[in-house]
Chain A
Amino acid sequence: MKTNIKFSILCLMAVSFSMFTSCGDDDDEKSDTTKPVIALDEPAEGDSLKIGAPIHFEMDLSDNEKLKSYKVDIHNNFDGHNHALKAATSTEAFTYNHSWDVSGLKNTHIHHHEIVIPENATPGKYHLMVYCTDEAGNETFIARNIVLSNDVEADHHED
């Protein structure tokens, strides 16, 4: 009986060992899962941005391998009670969705004023989100609470 036990255990160990080692081989070719990094300088969290003016947009993107694209998504975060519904107002909730190609780069500094808040944008709370992908499909994003307002100065930066 003793030999029987030993034999069975040995068999199982051999089988399981071969199973584990056979799958261990492929760990080397594991694909890139490191997400790109977004360091968004402008707009900052809680910033009030002037309606009718371009947004000062500035950030650094980097990836361990190669970046692919980034997208900026701005949509309202109205709470639904304090703001008049669409039908009753002459302004329009601002929505923005645009993407830029940064493929092939490992890191890049982005600085532009391409995003323009239209004159008829409804003032209030908004979300600004920046998404970035790399060539492998890894994706990262960052969310900012911003306020669109008629009563602030447009952002004139120092440089």
Chain B
Amino acid sequence: MRSGIIPVMLMFVFASSLWAQTADTVMTGTLDEVVVSGSYKKMEVLNTVQQVEVVEEPFLREHFTGNLTQTLGHIPGVHSMDIGAGFSKPMIRGMGFNRISVVQNGIKQEGQQWGADHGLEIDAFSVGRVTVRKGPSSLLYGSDAMGGTIEIERLPAPIDDQWLGEVNLLGKSVNNTLGASLMLGLKRKAWFTTLRYSEQHFGDYHIPTDTVVYLTQRLPIEKQSLKNTAGFERDANWDLDYRKGRYYGNLSVSDAYQKVGFFAGAHGIPDAEILHDDGDSRNIDLPYSWVNHLKVTSHHQYGFGRLFGYLDLGFQNNHREEWSYFHTHYGTQIPPEKDPNKELQFSLNTYSASLKVKRFCSNNWEYTVGLDLQYQKNTIDGYSFLLPEYDRFTSGVLWLSKWKASDKLSLSGGLRYDYGHLDISAFKDVYLEQYLTDQHYGADVLEDYEWRSYAVERDFGDVSGSIGCVWNPTKSQLVKVNVGRSFRLPGANELASNGMHHGTFRHEQGDASLSTEKGWQMDLSYTYVHKGICFIFSPFGSWFNNYIYLKPTGEWSILPHTGQIYRYSQAEVTFIGAEAEFSVDFLRYLNYKIAGEYVHSRNREEQLPLPFSPPASMRNTLTWKAKKFKVFAQWQAVMAQDEVSRNEETTPGHNLWNMGASANVPLFKTKVELTLSAQNLLNEKYYNHLSFYRKMEIPEPGRNFQLLIKVPFKSSIK
């Protein structure tokens, strides 16, 4: 009988455990004796054919920075693209922006991933566990998860009835951060609820230099403090769980607000005069941006015999504004009467729904069918323009299956079809029209430039799929192979924009005829764990025949402050790279770990790398660990990035020294966790190739000392 099933399964067999929450279903628990000690982390690693990294305590605490993306940047293959000290967006294996997805409570976080100066709006204090899925994941999450996903969860409910809570205090020297977070929770019978409120305030951050040289002009950095980079963050989260019998439900409401100033030089040509110290390192002056992300999600699951049903619903509103003096853009025009300095406003509403049914056919075979729906509406305002208004509807049907061929081998695979409809509105820039009219340009030039976006309506459909296996030939080894096809819908900016991007100072032009980005990706991973030795090697490669990139056209734009026009085009692109990790325990209390990563991308049409390619890097960490104490010293070496795209600057390499210590101090029946860390101990002046401020030759933050105090408490209920 078996021989008949195998070919069929091989055709459809499928990928990765559905979403994180499902791993707690009992029936997946029959895995090998192997390295599985039953912990969630190992379970997830064993269950997924892709290379996954699961981080939770103490990793999240030891690498805490108040900014989740920066914390995740410590995982090999993951990078943080920073905009100063406040906003950051994640990158996985050289793919960022909307080529990766962030998923919380089973719902894709929809902010403004496409923009260069937008971050990820999630309260770092509220995160209990993060699963990073490296490589193609559009099978699971649709279009944008092409390069990988970051799945964020809070910690699961305790078993016993109790009151519980937590106080977190954070202090950082580099920008005088003061942060605090308070969580209160109650577990009683079937109910579990938590409420968290967090706040962080920070001042201008320090950089180890007195001047920056930009556009051949020497600009003063008074007091080595980068003017107007102060900001604050305010977040609230409420969660409610109900678990009874075979039903589990969760309702989650969260709101994240951030307001951060921009270094004045980041908007226009920096002028030495506006960079004088204003005597206040904590004020947020123009230009600045603020963003609010409201999210309501609800998850339901129910088991009927061997059948499990999952329903996820979500609503999100991402509202972002940028404020900058009107006259710095159109100095000779009369500003608008209402909100004269509101440069940009976006309000993105996203409605998501997902229904999945999982069936366990036998102890070694399960499959899932599902339907995902998402509707988005983006509206804009402000005197400037960055992204058009649009409506976007996407839906996907998927089929996933997993088959345990033996105790040592399991196969997974799946297929998915997505349909997308995008309706982009045209936008005429009246200020630009006025400006060009004043310059006496003719009607033909006006027609080419005054439309900042064109009306475009497109339908897309595409297939994604993957097949892979997890093989643990011996107790100490694990081999994974996965091949996947994934895709991404072109974004509204890539299809319809026209004009100067206010962050890059390039005239960028969309192309309404772009097709979906499609790629084949393959990853392998080998893990060896035995007696205090751990070795992981995970190479990958991918091929896209129509990767979207900005191509310089050689045609001059007539817009002030811009050079040639860059047009979104498609080209054959390949990626290749690997992460490697080796760690060894020795002399009872010591551990040495080396982790490195490398990614190489190539645009085959231009014979050049893609922009924002992370440089190769390596971290050497020596840790001393006793019962209640832990001390580590780290040497981080980042290679120079000479592999750059056309008109992108190379970035020199650097070495950083970091240290940290943590201790558990018993106090009033609880254990207070103290974590002290120091980054960039030698106050090295270095540049991050992925940073928004890189092109202005602004170095990264200097030496930083940080203290995190965590006080958990609980009280049982009889």
The answer to whether A142 and B576 touch across the interface, beta carbons within 8 angstroms, is: no
Shortest A83–chain B CB gap in Å is 7
Total inter-chain residue pairs, C-beta < 8 Å: 129
Which of the 9-residue segments A22-30, A49-57, A58-66, A107-115 touches chain B?
A22-30
Contact of B556 among A12, A26, A71 (CB under 8 A): A71
Interface of A is mostly: mixed
The answer to whether B563 and A23 touch across the interface, beta carbons within 8 angstroms, is: no
Shortest B508–chain A CB gap in Å is 14
In the bound complex, residues from chain A placing their C-beta under 8 Å from that of B332 are 76, 78, 83, 85-86, 93, 122
The answer to whether B439 and A15 touch across the interface, beta carbons within 8 angstroms, is: no
Query: Is B7 part of the binding interface, using a Cβ–Cβ cutoff of 8 Å?
Result: no
The answer to whether A133 and B474 touch across the interface, beta carbons within 8 angstroms, is: no
In the bound complex, residues from chain A placing their C-beta under 8 Å from that of B217 are 45, 143, 145
Query: Is A120 part of the binding interface, using a Cβ–Cβ cutoff of 8 Å?
Result: no
The answer to whether A80 and B576 touch across the interface, beta carbons within 8 angstroms, is: no
If A8-B473, A29-B607, A86-B333 touch, whether A141 touches B563 (CB-CB below 8 Å) is yes
In the bound complex, residues from chain B placing their C-beta under 8 Å from that of A86 are 332-334, 438
- In the complex formed, the residue of B with least CB distance to A142 is B216
The answer to whether A75 and B477 touch across the interface, beta carbons within 8 angstroms, is: no
In the bound complex, residues from chain A placing their C-beta under 8 Å from that of B327 are 78-81
Residues 441 to 498 of chain B near chain A (Cβ within 8 Å):
473-474, 477, 479
The answer to whether B647 and A8 touch across the interface, beta carbons within 8 angstroms, is: no
The answer to whether A19 and B564 touch across the interface, beta carbons within 8 angstroms, is: no
Question: Which one of B328, B524, B563 has the highest number of Cβ atoms from chain A below 10 Å of its Cβ?
Answer: B563
> How many chain A residues have a CB neighbour from B under 8 Å?
51
Bound CA–CA A139/B334 (angstroms): 34
The answer to whether B646 and A33 touch across the interface, beta carbons within 8 angstroms, is: yes
- In the complex formed, the residue of A with least CB distance to B530 is A5
The answer to whether B608 and A31 touch across the interface, beta carbons within 8 angstroms, is: yes
Bound CA–CA A131/B561 (angstroms): 10
Shortest A140–chain B CB gap in Å is 8
Contact of A69 among B479, B556, B604 (CB under 8 A): B556
In the bound complex, residues from chain A placing their C-beta under 8 Å from that of B477 are 4-5, 8
Proximity bits, A89-124, B CB within 8 Å = 1, else 0: 000110101010000000000000000000000100
By size class, the interface of chain B is: 35 or more
In the bound complex, residues from chain B placing their C-beta under 8 Å from that of A138 are 646-647
In the bound complex, residues from chain A placing their C-beta under 8 Å from that of B528 are 5
Shortest A87–chain B CB gap in Å is 7
The answer to whether A75 and B473 touch across the interface, beta carbons within 8 angstroms, is: no
In the bound complex, residues from chain B placing their C-beta under 8 Å from that of A93 are 331-332, 438
- Spell out A's residues near B (CB within 8 Å): 1, 4-5, 8-9, 12, 15-16, 19-20, 23, 26, 29-31, 33, 35, 45, 68-69, 71, 73, 75-81, 83, 85-87, 92-93, 95, 97, 99, 122, 127, 129, 131, 133, 136-139, 141-143, 145
25 A-B pairs (CB sep. < 8 Å): A1-B474, A9-B526, A12-B539, A16-B537, A23-B576, A26-B602, A71-B556, A73-B561, A75-B560, A77-B269, A77-B331, A81-B327, A83-B332, A85-B332, A93-B438, A95-B438, A97-B560, A131-B556, A131-B564, A133-B552, A137-B564, A139-B564, A142-B216, A143-B269, A145-B271
Please provide the 7 A-B residue pairs with the shortest distance between their CB atoms, ordered closest to farther.
Answer: A80-B327, A137-B552, A75-B560, A78-B331, A131-B563, A16-B539, A86-B332
